[in-house]
Chains A and B, each alone.
Chain A
């Protein structure tokens, strides 16, 4: 039984790689995310035969082909629907959805809304590169105003959607984000997402080297990151900066955050707001912060578990006797009355 031996053994990240040649552009952020996912799967001890990666269309959607688990590369924007069906048919499977900003928030925006509000137990990883890569560089729903692209030669005049703000608005119970190249953070976030029962929404800022290179530099460049990234930890004060010398607190008299100095010459640490990942209102404040005035909040913005959709579906179905009468067709056909002709 070689098969059993392989699956039961402890697997290394490389064991989650398929035999297919990875075909993203050299330098694409997707490579880093792929490595992080494989590492996370290994650390989770994920069983390949029970793990399913479902994707839509786009650069990110090639993802399942590069993993040795079950995989379904579906159609544009619709991965959440197929993932929902998989969980309904077999709630024991561990199902991941890989999507992008165009796939998940433009053509598939409706499904994203509903899969999140239903709270289907999935890990949804949205690679946000603020551009349509596979179709050669058109602006996407997350592109900032002014983005010049083949379809917006004078610059985009649309207001972008914030993926995590959308997820919170849709009623997601787990919302987090990370930067593609910060592997340890991505792995940690994916593991948290996996531990959360229900729909877990993870946004990964992913650099497209060809069509949108450096779009996240303001907070991901090595020199900028310490000042522009706020790494959230539940129960810890919201501090950032190379020496954690700045913090966030509620601005007096208004429902907004402000950056304040901490420590020498600044406020005492206990005046700084403490992260509570179960607090939706706080998550909504954090999700809107952007450089240069504020740091980008990374990590788990919100985590407040509730019963997952498929668990409720099966609870109801069992209460109604799920499958009890599968073999008893006669009962089904004769209910509501019959008559006999002699």
Chain B
């Protein structure tokens, strides 16, 4: 490690939450991502979360143009981006205005005084300079003229003022890397690669990075400028990388396609926040067998993948709430024609357009029940960014084995959140090869597997299996159109039994933490995993009889879920909605489950869950 001995003894921290906040143009996402890499390389566990504005190019200096990146890293198991911020790096007054409220009392705020001009203060709505008027008295304030120091660091490199100004983020990064004793070689190498065709920019950014670092080491020490150490986390040995939920879903889908023995994935999507990222990610993975199609609308996107599935490819589409609503009729067609499909929903706050960049878990009812008529399908949800990989594989397995659409419920948080991921051994991943029907003897399109009840997958191009399917009800025994009342009842029951039967083909539900019986079960699903895990861990350390049960399978539920829940005195169900899983559980098992609900477009804080757990005991 390149760090030299700090001028004064470093203090030790178990874990730290840093938020880099600045104007959209200040490069905060890059800054945060680079810090993440350096922390990960130093062996910390971590979770990150970007918070960028909905506006693409908000006017500079305004509060609605503030872009932030939060990282929680530590020498312990880190499960959330952190309840409260320990260190806020505010590159301008607007960032301070927006993000100060999340800084813990006594926390450190680093401000670029060079950006605290009268004009910027006015734009952010500060009547007086908060650095000078005492309003930051409850925090450790580290005032540095990053703007000027950056300009000085790069002054010999012939950059324009604007270009020089854009190096401020690397200066701030250098200081933070010093503060936590993290290396900067990988970032230096990365800058040289990134600006390979503009060597002077590479040089300037590296110079700014080094200047920020040197400031920490050598500057006239402010009492608030303290260096820290954060130990390596006790993580399992292995090869790691950082992964976001979106990346893990993309790779999991590819792994699933491979596990199913399929050669091609057709992914169709229509631009929608926050789901578009998956389309962008997969568009670059053609070498891995992916063809992406940006359709004219949400309906066309799912229509194309139904067509692709009919023709024997893995069909995948992705959207968010409003787009999912548009796909509803097509989902019914996929259910009626019993074609395999994976539909990824990155849930966001609603109803209607709602808050497109903010996370919610309010599409569970829509996923499970939101179609006309009796139209069952499978619903599963990943818990963490890295869990997205396995869940995407599992979605492909269920879809192809049961010839059904599967909705994978992600959300705006998981789409962007990132964490270290221990890479799986590709040779150890599951295999579930599909068997396309080729034998014409006794064939009809709704011929079923006696165990799974899945119909035969017979694809165009197969001689002797020419057949017609569609949205009209089919005869159970021939696959022809049928209006026979008893046949419709039988087909309706069969479609339901097929989905219900998946419960026999998934792991039994176990507690993610704690015993399988006791005083309180905290039952979650989806991206609330990290916060619940931490809150339950804390409660158990305090001797409380609490378990964490986290559901991956939301339709059908695991076969033992009812029995498991009944072994607890109380069932507490935290959700980022007004109470959807809690109702499904109550309806399915007649258990007195209680909801704990948050609909602020923000993830649960550990403290909120801890308080609720303690209140329930």
A-to-B contact residues, CB < 8 Å: 3-4, 6-7, 18, 20, 48-52, 54, 57, 64-65, 67-75, 78, 80-90, 92-93, 110-111, 113-114, 313, 316-317, 320-327, 329-330, 332-334, 336-342
B125 on interface, CB distance cutoff 8 Å: no
Task: Assess whether A81 is in contact with B468, with CB atoms less than 8 Å apart.
Answer: no
B481 on interface, CB distance cutoff 8 Å: yes
> Looking at the complex, which of B455-463, B502-510, B566-574 is the stretch in contact with chain A?
B455-463
User: B257 — nearest CB in chain A belongs to which residue?
Assistant: A326
Task: Assess whether A326 is in contact with B258, with CB atoms less than 8 Å apart.
Answer: yes
Question: Beyond A338-B240, A339-B240, A342-B237, is A90–B312 a contact (Cβ under 8 Å)?
Answer: yes
Task: Assess whether A88 is in contact with B300, with CB atoms less than 8 Å apart.
Answer: no
Q: Can you give 5 contacting A-B residue pairs, CB < 8 Å?
A: A65-B468, A92-B461, A313-B293, A332-B254, A338-B239
B152 on interface, CB distance cutoff 8 Å: no
The 9 closest A-B pairs by CB, nearest first: A85-B307, A73-B470, A81-B303, A85-B304, A71-B468, A89-B311, A3-B464, A82-B307, A321-B287
B85 on interface, CB distance cutoff 8 Å: no
Q: In the assembled complex, which residues on chain A have CB atoms less than 8 Å from the CB atom of B251?
A: 329, 332-333
Q: Which of B289, B306, B309, B337 contacts A323 (CB 8 A)?
A: B289
Distance from A107 Cβ to chain B, minimum over Cβ atoms (Å): 10
Q: Which of A70, A72, A317 contacts B286 (CB 8 A)?
A: A317
Task: Assess whether B286 is in contact with A321, with CB atoms less than 8 Å apart.
Answer: yes
Task: Assess whether A326 is in contact with B263, with CB atoms less than 8 Å apart.
Answer: yes
Interface residues of B in 278-323 (CB under 8 A from A): 285-289, 291, 293, 295-297, 299-313, 315
Task: Assess whether B466 is in contact with A85, with CB atoms less than 8 Å apart.
Answer: no
Q: Which of A51, A71, A90, A339 contacts B239 (CB 8 A)?
A: A339
B41 on interface, CB distance cutoff 8 Å: yes
User: A69 — nearest CB in chain B belongs to which residue?
Assistant: B466
Task: Assess whether A81 is in contact with B241, with CB atoms less than 8 Å apart.
Answer: no
When chains A and B are docked, how far (Å) is the Cα of A18 from the Cα of B479?
13
Question: Beyond A73-B469, A114-B296, A323-B264, is A7–B463 a contact (Cβ under 8 Å)?
Answer: yes
When chains A and B are docked, how far (Å) is the Cα of A342 from the Cα of B239?
9
User: B315 — nearest CB in chain A belongs to which residue?
Assistant: A85
Q: In the assembled complex, which residues on chain A have CB atoms less than 8 Å from the CB atom of B264?
A: 89, 323
Question: Beyond A54-B307, A89-B313, A341-B43, is A332–B288 a contact (Cβ under 8 Å)?
Answer: yes
Task: Assess whether B40 is in contact with A339, with CB atoms less than 8 Å apart.
Answer: yes
Q: In the assembled complex, which residues on chain A have CB atoms less than 8 Å from the CB atom of B467?
A: 70-71
Q: In the assembled complex, which residues on chain B have CB atoms less than 8 Å from the CB atom of A64?
A: 468, 470
Distance from B478 Cβ to chain A, minimum over Cβ atoms (Å): 10
Task: Assess whether A85 is in contact with B255, with CB atoms less than 8 Å apart.
Answer: no
Distance from B395 Cβ to chain A, minimum over Cβ atoms (Å): 17
Not counting A75-B330, A317-B286, A333-B251, a sample of 5 additional A-B residue pairs whose C-beta atoms are within 8 angstroms of each other reads A72-B470, A85-B266, A114-B300, A326-B289, A339-B239
Q: Which of B236, B258, B289, B460 contacts A341 (CB 8 A)?
A: B236
**Number of contacting residues on B, CB 8 A?**
73
When chains A and B are docked, how far (Å) is the Cα of A163 from the Cα of B235?
65
Question: Beyond A20-B480, A111-B296, A338-B423, is A52–B460 a contact (Cβ under 8 Å)?
Answer: yes
Distance from A129 Cβ to chain B, minimum over Cβ atoms (Å): 21
When chains A and B are docked, how far (Å) is the Cα of A7 from the Cα of B463?
8
Distance from A314 Cβ to chain B, minimum over Cβ atoms (Å): 8
Task: Assess whether B289 is in contact with A81, with CB atoms less than 8 Å apart.
Answer: no
Task: Assess whether B461 is in contact with A325, with CB atoms less than 8 Å apart.
Answer: no
When chains A and B are docked, how far (Å) is the Cα of A208 from the Cα of B460?
32
User: B284 — nearest CB in chain A belongs to which residue?
Assistant: A320
When chains A and B are docked, how far (Å) is the Cα of A14 from the Cα of B257?
40
When chains A and B are docked, how far (Å) is the Cα of A79 from the Cα of B309?
14
User: B307 — nearest CB in chain A belongs to which residue?
Assistant: A85
B214 on interface, CB distance cutoff 8 Å: no
Q: In the assembled complex, which residues on chain A have CB atoms less than 8 Å from the CB atom of B288?
A: 323, 325-326, 332
When chains A and B are docked, how far (Å) is the Cα of A57 from the Cα of B472?
10
Q: Which of A75, A80, A85, A86 contacts B333 (CB 8 A)?
A: A75
Q: Which of A85, A93, A327 contacts B306 (CB 8 A)?
A: A85
Q: In the assembled complex, which residues on chain B have CB atoms less than 8 Å from the CB atom of A49?
A: 460-466
When chains A and B are docked, how far (Å) is the Cα of A316 from the Cα of B466?
31
Task: Assess whether A78 is in contact with B286, with CB atoms less than 8 Å apart.
Answer: no
User: B470 — nearest CB in chain A belongs to which residue?
Assistant: A73
Task: Assess whether A72 is in contact with B468, with CB atoms less than 8 Å apart.
Answer: yes
B440 on interface, CB distance cutoff 8 Å: yes
Question: Beyond A85-B304, A90-B460, A333-B251, is A75–B310 a contact (Cβ under 8 Å)?
Answer: no
Distance from B327 Cβ to chain A, minimum over Cβ atoms (Å): 11
B238 on interface, CB distance cutoff 8 Å: yes
Q: In the assembled complex, which residues on chain B have CB atoms less than 8 Å from the CB atom of A65?
A: 468, 470, 481
Task: Assess whether B423 is in contact with A334, with CB atoms less than 8 Å apart.
Answer: yes
Distance from A199 Cβ to chain B, minimum over Cβ atoms (Å): 14
When chains A and B are docked, how far (Å) is the Cα of A333 from the Cα of B248?
9
Q: In the assembled complex, which residues on chain B have CB atoms less than 8 Å from the CB atom of A334?
A: 239, 241, 423
Task: Assess whether B471 is in contact with A86, with CB atoms less than 8 Å apart.
Answer: no
Q: In the assembled complex, which residues on chain B have CB atoms less than 8 Å from the CB atom of A67?
A: 468
Q: In the assembled complex, which residues on chain A have CB atoms less than 8 Å from the CB atom of B311?
A: 52, 85-86, 89-90, 93
Q: In the assembled complex, which residues on chain B have CB atoms less than 8 Å from the CB atom of A337?
A: 37, 186, 241
Task: Assess whether A73 is in contact with B304, with CB atoms less than 8 Å apart.
Answer: no
Most chain B beta-carbon contacts within 10 A, residue among A65, A81, A111 = A81
Task: Assess whether B468 is in contact with A333, with CB atoms less than 8 Å apart.
Answer: no
Task: Assess whether A73 is in contact with B306, with CB atoms less than 8 Å apart.
Answer: no
When chains A and B are docked, how far (Å) is the Cα of A161 from the Cα of B313?
37
Distance from A3 Cβ to chain B, minimum over Cβ atoms (Å): 4
Task: Assess whether B461 is in contact with A317, with CB atoms less than 8 Å apart.
Answer: no
Most chain A beta-carbon contacts within 10 A, residue among B40, B236, B287, B305 = B287
Q: In the assembled complex, which residues on chain B have CB atoms less than 8 Å from the CB atom of A74?
A: 303, 306, 333, 470-471
Q: In the assembled complex, which residues on chain B have CB atoms less than 8 Å from the CB atom of A6?
A: 464
Q: In the assembled complex, which residues on chain B have CB atoms less than 8 Å from the CB atom of A111?
A: 296, 299-300, 303
B426 on interface, CB distance cutoff 8 Å: yes
Q: In the assembled complex, which residues on chain A have CB atoms less than 8 Å from the CB atom of B581?
A: none
When chains A and B are docked, how far (Å) is the Cα of A18 from the Cα of B445?
15
Task: Assess whether A88 is in contact with B469, with CB atoms less than 8 Å apart.
Answer: no
Task: Assess whether B241 is in contact with A89, with CB atoms less than 8 Å apart.
Answer: no
Task: Assess whether B305 is in contact with A85, with CB atoms less than 8 Å apart.
Answer: yes
Question: Beyond A81-B307, A82-B310, is A333–B471 a contact (Cβ under 8 Å)?
Answer: no
Task: Assess whether A88 is in contact with B287, with CB atoms less than 8 Å apart.
Answer: no
Q: In the assembled complex, which residues on chain B have CB atoms less than 8 Å from the CB atom of A86?
A: 307-308, 310-311, 460
User: B233 — nearest CB in chain A belongs to which residue?
Assistant: A341
When chains A and B are docked, how far (Å) is the Cα of A70 from the Cα of B469?
9
Question: Beyond A65-B481, A81-B303, A110-B296, is A88–B266 a contact (Cβ under 8 Å)?
Answer: yes
User: A83 — nearest CB in chain B belongs to which residue?
Assistant: B307
Distance from A322 Cβ to chain B, minimum over Cβ atoms (Å): 5
Task: Assess whether A333 is in contact with B241, with CB atoms less than 8 Å apart.
Answer: yes
Interface residues of B in 219-258 (CB under 8 A from A): 235-241, 251, 254-255, 257-258
Task: Assess whether A48 is in contact with B310, with CB atoms less than 8 Å apart.
Answer: no
When chains A and B are docked, how far (Å) is the Cα of A48 from the Cα of B288?
32
Distance from A167 Cβ to chain B, minimum over Cβ atoms (Å): 16
Q: In the assembled complex, which residues on chain B have CB atoms less than 8 Å from the CB atom of A51?
A: 460
When chains A and B are docked, how far (Å) is the Cα of A69 from the Cα of B468?
8
